[in-house]
Structure 1
Amino acid sequence: MTPEEFKEARRKLGLTQSELGAVLDTAPQTIRKWEMPDARSTARSVNPVAARAMRWFLSGFRPPEWPQGR
C-alpha cells in the first residue's frame, strides 16, 4: 500500500489521523509519516500490518477500539 493509498483509505473510513492511531495503537505522528510522499525526508514506509488492517477495515471489519459513530 502506498502512502497515498493509505491516506485515501483513512479518508474513506472517515477517520482522523488521531482516531486511526488509537485504533492501530500507533502515535498520530506515525500515521502522518506513513501518509507522506516517499520523497519527504521524514516519511516512513507504511507498516505492512497496518496496511493489512486498513484493507480489513475497508471490507467492513470494526475492532472494539473503533470510534463510535464512524
Structure 2
Amino acid sequence: MARLGDATSVILPTSISENFLLDSKQLESKLNEKSRLLILCSPSNPEGSVYPKNLLEEIAKTVAKHPSLLV
C-alpha cells in the first residue's frame, strides 16, 4: 500500500525479549514531519502479542506530538 501511495515504509523491529511489542521511545526516534501513518496491530500476528493499556497510553502520548500522523 505504501508503494502505491509513493510513500516510504519504515519498519520498526521488535524482539522476543520485548514480547514483540513496539517501544514508544523507538517509535519517537523514527517519527518526523513527513510521518503520516502508523499501523499498529494488537493482537499482532503471528506471535499474538497484545499491547497492555499502559504501553498504548505511552504510544498515544508520542503520537499526539505528531498531529499529521494517522493511526
TM-score by length of 1: 0.34
By percentage of residues, which structure has more helix? 1
For the pair shown, the structure with the greater C-alpha radius of gyration is 2
